[in-house]
Structure 1
């Protein structure tokens, strides 16, 4: 499957630009109001498409604390030295030309009864429909001995920005022969192939720096992981002897970490004075969603698969990593696709626009080396009360070098296309 920018913008949701039928259909005086919380792949896409395709019929406000957004997707390529930090950093200037009001502030609370978002500065933003796309929060107590304070020593870099810079700095300081321990997260988590692409890019950076006596040990709570055969083939071919993956039957459970000594203790072995410990903990929906009562016992938010509405509140849509999206993985591509469905449905409700049955798509590319990338993806629709796959694909082991190089070219082209689609 090949993809270009035009296909991304028009093909992943053929209904992105829907026909308008008259003026706003509800809500008395003035324009209907939509507030979007979170300026990532889900929130920013939703804000843009609601405003742009309603042709000014809906007032759209995007609330995002950061004036610049660093993408988690392709941050592994920054770690590997393939991208620079500026190339994964984006601003919201493009939103204004579509009529989106961007508020750089923190959403502190959602008052569902009054249909208001209260900002940290006390300002209240009334809404007729609310889009919640806050990403993930980390479960700091899911790794014994680790904490929010410890992330300054044992970085996670599973939220972009300062943590990404810190992990890169720590990686570059690893000496030849040094040991890196990655603690992989349990399901469900943001970007299923992400930890293993990160390992690949760490190994790439070490090898390029002539530190190929270094070793990366993965302590994984899962029996299997996304694209496992493809990654393990790649590690054997590209980074022989540098990467060791340990599943739970081998390491016998993670017992504790000690940030003071960079020590990791498992039931099988103790790794003392590691050169770098990368802790990727368990995850849950962002606090704003949980505090509003939108999450269930899993820590994530149930949605109606036909439209991305919260299962708790029909005036709220939940997108991206924070939602329970059935067989769709938590990825930027997924969030972008879900946002286009939500935008279409909101325009249908508030501006009498035509709507179509929800269709979702996703592709996740993973870079193993500069000329070696693999991918997995599929098409999805509402099935039996959840989002289910209608078709899937995945790269195969033993593919030709030319095909892998072509897949990597797709990967880079996709990033250019999706960031233009989100922020442009």
Structure 2
């Protein structure tokens, strides 16, 4: 039998087995393995452990001892937050009953239903939840590859890359040029690159006021564009230049060794370049053959269950689910829906109708933030938007200050909900 045919048969068998697994096997508790300890993975592992009340064994596979949040990392770059404040351990998950395995998932054996660990062991599962976050499309920016990330960092996976980019910003020569290559859609945290520019501009305004920032963007327009551009004019007038497709951004290449960017044939020397490339689902989802031609993992909107394997759920940034943006709040919301579906599969408990929500805050300057978000429900084969909200351009200072404080409160609350 051909390999492709065999894989197809495995996928069909697994997809049809969603309701076939009993809660116990010879007296043993059902097993759930979660891969990835970020907003989605840590949330779903802790939620299942708490809600199942001992009926299910839950294991989280995560190589890092502490998770560094990508959300709020821009405030660190702007000098408004410490790096340590972005880091969270897994002790709260352990207290909730989750077994945390400090390793990485090297492969998913879908036929035998087990996760193969990088250290050589394996973990059997009755249900598997993948929340590996994003990976990058290598070569999506001509002249740049992942091998060049130490020279032109992406800093879109928080941790060492965040520290590296901060060091480069701090070392920018007086009057120097910082360039950012913005990503094409879809990507993690749609306002994120532009909040980053705002925070870097805030830092440079105090330390290096003659510095310049160039944004090279493949998109015709970007999220919250008017709100960001109004803020750049108000707080950082003359510092930031945005270059979109009409001005040559589609004809772009970079030269990391020379620290140069070429825009429509015109070469510009820069002092620091932050390349945020095109994105796709975390590699383990691709290795498990759960992604499609888009690079993302398609899921059922009512449960976050993989379209390609009924025993596997994919949530957070890796999921191709519809209208929800890729954000920490989205991942947490999807985790709650997936947790209920997993518990329903393994215990027979009723599963409530799914409710999804998202909220994002973007800092423009100290004490000035804007927000956007919405609610969603399964419809037309996807998670569909049913209501949206967004900050308005004419809001007064008190409203913006309240939104800024709301963002700080949100970070404290959501990290407590995720990590315990």
Fold equivalence (TM over 0.5): yes
Counterpart CA distance in 2 for 1:395 and 1:365 is 10
Equivalent residues of 1:135, 1:320 under 8 A apart: yes
Residue number among 382, 389, 395 corresponding to 1:393 in the alignment: 389
Deviation at 1:137, TM superposition (A): 0.8
Q: Quick one: higher RCO (CA 8 Å, sep 6+), 1 or 2?
A: 1
Deviation at 1:26, TM superposition (A): 4.8
Report SS of the residue matched to 1:45: helix
1:360 matched to which residue of 2?
A: 356
1:101 matched to which residue of 2?
A: 99
Residue number among 269, 274, 286 corresponding to 2:266 in the alignment: 269
1:378 matched to which residue of 2?
A: 374
Residue number among 209, 232, 235 corresponding to 2:232 in the alignment: 235
Taking structure 1 as the reference length, what is the TM-score of the superposition? 0.93
Equivalent residues of 1:308, 1:341 under 8 A apart: yes
1:11 matched to which residue of 2?
A: none
1:143 matched to which residue of 2?
A: 141
Q: What is the CA deviation profile of residues 129-156 of structure 1, one whole-angstrom value per residue up to 9, with x for unaligned ones?
A: 0000001111121111112221111011
Equivalent residues of 1:252, 1:268 under 8 A apart: no
Counterpart CA distance in 1 for 2:181 and 2:137 is 13
Deviation at 1:176, TM superposition (A): 2.4
Report SS of the residue matched to 1:31: strand
Counterpart CA distance in 2 for 1:206 and 1:409 is 23
* CA RMSD, 1 decimal: 1.0
Deviation at 1:260, TM superposition (A): 1.1
Question: Which stretches of structure 1, 4 residues or more, deviate above 6 A after TM superposition?
Answer: none
Q: Is 1:404 aligned to 2:400, yes or no?
A: yes
Closer, same or farther in 2 for the Cα pair 1:252/1:199, shift >3 Å?
A: closer
1:115 matched to which residue of 2?
A: 113
Residue number among 400, 409, 422 corresponding to 2:418 in the alignment: 422
Counterpart CA distance in 2 for 1:247 and 1:226 is 13
2:326 matched to which residue of 1?
A: 330
Q: What is the CA deviation profile of residues 115-170 of structure 1, one whole-angstrom value per residue up to 9, with x for unaligned ones?
A: 00000112110000000000111112111111222111101101111000000000
Q: Is 1:246 aligned to 2:243, yes or no?
A: yes
Instruction: Tell me whether 347-356 or 294-303 shows the greater mean CA deviation.
Output: 347-356
2:7 matched to which residue of 1?
A: none
Deviation at 1:325, TM superposition (A): 2.1
Counterpart CA distance in 2 for 1:171 and 1:325 is 36
Report SS of the residue matched to 1:304: coil
1:297 matched to which residue of 2?
A: 293
Residue number among 113, 119, 133 corresponding to 2:131 in the alignment: 133
Report SS of the residue matched to 1:190: coil
Q: What is the CA deviation profile of residues 237-289 of structure 1, one whole-angstrom value per residue up to 9, with x for unaligned ones?
A: 111011111111112524311111110001063211x1110000001111110
2:306 matched to which residue of 1?
A: 310
Counterpart CA distance in 1 for 2:232 and 2:252 is 27
Equivalent residues of 2:174, 2:210 under 8 A apart: yes
Counterpart CA distance in 1 for 2:101 and 2:206 is 42
Residue number among 193, 212, 215 corresponding to 1:218 in the alignment: 215
Report SS of the residue matched to 1:355: coil
Question: May I ask how many residue pairs the two structures share in their alignment?
Answer: 399
Counterpart CA distance in 2 for 1:258 and 1:169 is 20
2:201 matched to which residue of 1?
A: 203
Q: What is the CA deviation profile of residues 362-387 of structure 1, one whole-angstrom value per residue up to 9, with x for unaligned ones?
A: 00100000111001100000010000
Equivalent residues of 2:140, 2:278 under 8 A apart: yes
Counterpart CA distance in 2 for 1:249 and 1:181 is 18
Equivalent residues of 2:179, 2:213 under 8 A apart: yes
Counterpart CA distance in 2 for 1:252 and 1:105 is 40
Residue number among 154, 157, 161 corresponding to 1:156 in the alignment: 154
Equivalent residues of 2:316, 2:334 under 8 A apart: yes
Report SS of the residue matched to 1:152: coil
Equivalent residues of 1:134, 1:288 under 8 A apart: yes
1:12 matched to which residue of 2?
A: none
Counterpart CA distance in 1 for 2:205 and 2:125 is 52
1:75 matched to which residue of 2?
A: 73
Counterpart CA distance in 1 for 2:149 and 2:171 is 17
Where do 5+ consecutive residues of structure 1 fail to align? 1-23
Deviation at 1:327, TM superposition (A): 0.6
Counterpart CA distance in 2 for 1:318 and 1:155 is 28
